[in-house]
Structure 1
Amino acid sequence: MTEHGRVHAFGDDALGDLDAVGVAASIAAGEISAREAIEAAIARIERVDPALNAVVVRDFERALEQSDSPAPGVFSGVPSMVKDNTDVAGLPSRQGSLAVPATPATADAPFTTQLLSTGLLTLGKTTMPEFGFNATTEHPTLPPTRNPWHTAYSSGASSGGAAALVASGALPIAHANDGGGSIRIPAAACGLVGLKPTRGRVVDAVEAKTMPVNIVSNGVVTRSVRDTAHFLAGAEAHQPAKGLPPVGLVEGPSDRRLRVGLILDSVTGTPTDDETRAAVEATARRLEKLGHTIVPVPLPVGETFKRDFQHYWALLAFATQRFGRRVMHPDFDSSKTDPLTQFLAGRFLRQAWRTPMTIRNLKRSEKVYRDSFAAEGVDVVLSPTVGYTTPEIGYLSPAVEFPEMFERLVAYAAFTPLNNTAGAPAVSLPLGRTADGRPIGVHFSGQHGDERTLLELAFELEADAPFARIQD
Structure 2
Amino acid sequence: MSSPDLPERVHAFSDDALGHDDATGLAQRLRRREVSNAEVAEAATRRARLVEPRLHGVVAENYDLALDAARRLDNERPGGNPGFFRGVPTFIKDNLNVAGLPTRHGSAAIPDNTAKATSPFAQQLLVQGYVCLGKSSLPEFGFNATTEPAHAEPTRNPWNLAYSTGASSGGSAALVAAGVVPVAHANDGGGSIRIPAACCGLVGLKPTRGRLVDNDAVHSLPINIISDGIVSRSVRDTANFLAESELWFRNPKLPRVGRVDGPSGRKLRIGLVVDSINGHRTDNTTRKTVEETARRLERLGHQVVPVAVPVPESFPDDFALYWALLAFGVKANGHKLLNPGFDKRKVDGLTNGLATMFKRNFWRLPGALWRLRRSTKDYARAMDGYDAVLTPVLGHTTPPLGYLSPDVPFETLFDRLTRYVNFTPLANATGAPAISLPAGLTEDNLPVSVQLMGRHGGEATLLDLAFALEAEQPWPTLWQQARQVQAEETASAGG
User: TM-score if structure 2 supplies the norm length?
Assistant: 0.94
Bigger mean CA offset, 352-361 vs 181-190: 352-361
| Whole-Å separation in 2 of the counterparts to 1:141 and 1:127 | 12
Matched ranges for 1:38-77 at <5 A: 38-70=41-73, 71-77=81-87
Query: Which residue identity does 1:54 align to in structure 2?
Result: G
Q: What are the superposed Cα offsets for residues 161-185 of structure 1, whole Å, 9 maximum, x if unpaired? A: 0000000000100000000000000
The answer for the alignment partner of 2:464 in structure 1 is 456
Report the secondary structure of 1:138's partner residue: coil
The answer for the alignment partner of 2:31 in structure 1 is 28
Check if 1:417 corresponds to 2:425: yes
How many Å apart are 1:139 and its aligned residue?
Answer: 2.2
Query: Which residue identity does 1:448 align to in structure 2?
Result: H
Q: What are the superposed Cα offsets for residues 252-302 of structure 1, whole Å, 9 maximum, x if unpaired? A: 001210111000001221100000000000000111111111100011123
Query: Which residue identity does 2:32 align to in structure 1?
Result: A
Check if 1:378 corresponds to 2:371: no
Query: Which residue identity does 2:476 align to in structure 1?
Result: A
The answer for the alignment partner of 2:154 in structure 1 is 144
The answer for the alignment partner of 1:219 in structure 2 is 229
Bigger mean CA offset, 118-127 vs 239-248: 239-248
Structure 2: 5+ residue stretches without partners: 74-80, 481-495
Report the secondary structure of 2:479's partner residue: coil
| Whole-Å separation in 2 of the counterparts to 1:149 and 1:254 | 33
Q: Is the 8 A contact 1:432 1:442 kept in 2?
A: no
The answer for the alignment partner of 1:206 in structure 2 is 216
Report the secondary structure of 2:271's partner residue: strand
| Whole-Å separation in 1 of the counterparts to 2:222 and 2:466 | 32
| Whole-Å separation in 2 of the counterparts to 1:332 and 1:426 | 34
| Whole-Å separation in 2 of the counterparts to 1:115 and 1:3 | 35
How many Å apart are 1:2 and its aligned residue?
Answer: 5.9
| Whole-Å separation in 2 of the counterparts to 1:391 and 1:263 | 22
> Runs (4+) of structure 1 moved beyond 6 Å?
none
| Whole-Å separation in 2 of the counterparts to 1:420 and 1:104 | 30
Check if 1:324 corresponds to 2:327: no
Matched ranges for 1:149-164 at <5 A: 149-164=159-174
Report the secondary structure of 1:272's partner residue: coil
Report the secondary structure of 2:314's partner residue: helix
The answer for the alignment partner of 2:443 in structure 1 is 435
Query: Which residue identity does 2:108 align to in structure 1?
Result: L
The answer for the alignment partner of 1:187 in structure 2 is 197
Q: Is the 8 A contact 2:388 2:455 kept in 1?
A: yes
Matched ranges for 1:234-273 at <5 A: 234-273=244-283
Q: Is the 8 A contact 1:72 1:117 kept in 2?
A: no
| Whole-Å separation in 2 of the counterparts to 1:303 and 1:47 | 48
Which of residues 14, 19, 22 in structure 2 aligns to 1:19? 22
| Whole-Å separation in 2 of the counterparts to 1:174 and 1:386 | 22
| Whole-Å separation in 1 of the counterparts to 2:420 and 2:44 | 32
Q: What are the superposed Cα offsets for residues 180-200 of structure 1, whole Å, 9 maximum, x if unpaired? A: 000000000000000000001
Structure 1: 5+ residue stretches without partners: none
Q: Is the 8 A contact 1:339 1:398 kept in 2?
A: yes
> How many pairs align?
470
| Whole-Å separation in 1 of the counterparts to 2:248 and 2:241 | 11
Report the secondary structure of 2:450's partner residue: strand
Which of residues 459, 468, 471 in structure 1 aligns to 2:476? 468
How many Å apart are 1:69 and its aligned residue?
Answer: 3.1
Q: Is the 8 A contact 1:147 1:154 kept in 2?
A: yes
The answer for the alignment partner of 1:367 in structure 2 is 377
Which of residues 352, 376, 400 in structure 1 aligns to 2:362? 352
| Whole-Å separation in 2 of the counterparts to 1:267 and 1:75 | 40
Matched ranges for 1:91-106 at <5 A: 91-106=101-116
| Whole-Å separation in 1 of the counterparts to 2:252 and 2:350 | 36
Q: Is the 8 A contact 2:204 2:230 kept in 1?
A: yes
Identity of aligned residues (%): 54
How many Å apart are 1:141 and its aligned residue?
Answer: 3.5
The answer for the alignment partner of 1:127 in structure 2 is 137
How many Å apart are 1:140 and its aligned residue?
Answer: 2.6
Q: Is the 8 A contact 2:13 2:179 kept in 1?
A: yes
Query: Which residue identity does 1:98 align to in structure 2?
Result: A
The answer for the alignment partner of 2:493 in structure 1 is none
Name the CA shift for 1:69/1:248 in 2 (closer, same or farther; >3 Å): farther
| Whole-Å separation in 1 of the counterparts to 2:151 and 2:107 | 11
| Whole-Å separation in 2 of the counterparts to 1:69 and 1:412 | 46
Report the secondary structure of 1:303's partner residue: coil
| Whole-Å separation in 2 of the counterparts to 1:412 and 1:282 | 21
Query: Which residue identity does 2:134 align to in structure 1?
Result: G
Q: Is the 8 A contact 1:200 1:242 kept in 2?
A: no
| Whole-Å separation in 2 of the counterparts to 1:379 and 1:235 | 24
How many Å apart are 1:303 and its aligned residue?
Answer: 2.5
Report the secondary structure of 2:163's partner residue: strand
Bigger mean CA offset, 357-366 vs 160-169: 357-366
Which of residues 175, 179, 182 in structure 1 aligns to 2:185? 175
Q: Is the 8 A contact 1:270 1:411 kept in 2?
A: yes
Matched ranges for 1:260-339 at <5 A: 260-339=270-349
Q: Is the 8 A contact 1:4 1:152 kept in 2?
A: no
Query: Which residue identity does 1:471 align to in structure 2?
Result: W
Check if 1:401 corresponds to 2:409: yes
How many Å apart are 1:4 and its aligned residue?
Answer: 4.2
Report the secondary structure of 1:220's partner residue: strand
| Whole-Å separation in 1 of the counterparts to 2:82 and 2:106 | 31
Bigger mean CA offset, 302-311 vs 274-283: 302-311
The answer for the alignment partner of 1:86 in structure 2 is 96
